[in-house]
Amino acid sequence: MSSGKLAGRVAIVTGAGHGLGAECVRVLSEHGASVAVADIDFEAASQVAESLEAEGRAALAVRADVSSEEDVTAMIAKVKTRFGRIDVLHNNAAVLNADQRQRDRDLANLDMDAFDRAIAVNLRGAVLCTKHVIPLMLEQGGGSIIFATSGLGMQGDMSLSGYATSKAALLMLPKLVAAQYGKQGIRGNAVQIGLAPQHPMPEALLEIMRDNHCTPELGTPRQIADVVAFLASDESSFVTGTTLVADGGFGSHTPSLVPMRKLFEAMGRSSM
Ligand SMILES: NC(=O)c1ccc[n+]([C@@H]2O[C@H](COP(=O)([O-])OP(=O)(O)OC[C@H]3O[C@@H](n4cnc5c(N)ncnc54)[C@H](O)[C@@H]3O)[C@@H](O)[C@H]2O)c1
């Protein structure tokens, strides 16, 4: 539901051509923000921006590889030229395509090019976008910078070693933003996302993930975008330097919870 809580604000969402990023720009724009839809995939970014413009919203598609400092400075300049200011940066871009996920494996089988790419896009990209938006936010007297992190940056898993490492490092960035620029009105926060599937996954795997969520279902893009809109807006004006966990309780229960639940079910009991 539109609230107008971001009316007059300008937001950049990176990696907004697909998936959660695309939903985030839609929701930020629904709340009144003018949005920059930034992505390495310009065609996808253009489609998202065009669909928003067709609804009478202000949107700009920008092609940027966030791992390139040249691309990032050009992106910030384009958004400043078009909208005059930048109030919100959501560092959402991550390299997650099928080829990357196949090569970003367990440590002994890790393809180091995939590792380097995960760090370059997911971590360096967020640092670069943050570095180049801060001077503008300082001039304006404030802003909100958001980082998309993951449960995989907190808990060990079987694969995606580069992705997990990049997401773990991202947890420090909101704290640095808060400590270094909080007095000048810039807030930094992360959203630690559970599973809101954007890539095909086998049903058996989805079932395991569903069992481990403390909600009836896995997350939806809208549920994540609502948290991003909260962190972008003045509703969260006293929230900074922290990570808001939006994971349906995936990271909050004991490792034994699911097997215990199944054991009790098999015994025809609901608890010990
Ligand atoms: N979907 C989930 O369940 C989930 C869970 C935890 C965390 N996250 C995080 O949420 C964010 C979005 O994930 P998603 O599932 O929507 O992924 P996605 O793969 O659907 O979207 C990622 C987007 O980033 C873009 N991108 C890739 N490399 C880029 C680059 N170098 N520069 C600019 N853009 C680039 C892609 O083109 C794509 O549009 C990511 O940071 C991801 O780590 C997602």
Instruction: For residue 66, give every residue at least 6 positions away whose Cβ sits within 8 Å of its Cβ, in sequence order, or none.
Output: 14, 15, 38, 40, 72, 91, 93, 121, 124, 125, 126, 128, 129
Longest dimension (CA), the chain: 66
Mean pLDDT of 208-214: 92
Residue 272 has a pLDDT of 61
By most ligand atoms within 8 Å of CB, the mutation choice from 14, 20, 132, 209 for ligand 1 is 20
Beta carbons of 149 and 173 less than 8 angstroms apart: no
Q: In this structure, is the dihedral angle defined by the CA atoms of residues 261, 265, 270 and 271, taken in order, positive or negative? A: negative
Q: What is the pLDDT of residues 217-264, one digit of tens each?
A: 999 999 999 999 999 999 999 999 999 999 999 999 999 999 999 999
Distance between first and last Cα of the chain: 43
Q: At the topology level of CATH, where does 10-266 sit?
A: Rossmann fold (3.40.50)
Give the span between the Cα atoms of 35 and 4, in whole angstroms.
14
By most ligand atoms within 8 Å of CB, the mutation choice from 37, 47, 96, 150 for ligand 1 is 96
Confidence of residue 2 (pLDDT cuts 50, 70, 90): low
Tell me the domain boundaries of the chain: 10-266
By C-alpha distance, which of 149, 138, 222, 218 is closest to 190?
149
- The amino acid present at 252, given as its one-letter code, is S
State the catalytic residue, choosing from 163, 181, 230, 250: 163
Residue 209 buriedness (CB in 10 A; 0-12 / 13-18 / 19+): middle
Q: Of ligand 1's atoms, which has the minimum distance to the CA of residue 65?
A: 32
How many angstroms does the Cα of residue 94 sit away from the middle of ligand 1?
4
Rg (CA), the chain: 19
Residue 20 has a pLDDT of 97
Residue 134 has a pLDDT of 98
Task: Establish whether 181 is a catalytic residue.
Answer: no
Mean pLDDT of 86-115: 98
Beta strands in the chain (DSSP E): 10-14, 34-39, 59-63, 88-91, 143-150, 186-193, 242-246
How many angstroms does the Cα of residue 167 sit away from the middle of ligand 1?
12
Mean pLDDT of the chain: 96
Residue 198 has a pLDDT of 80
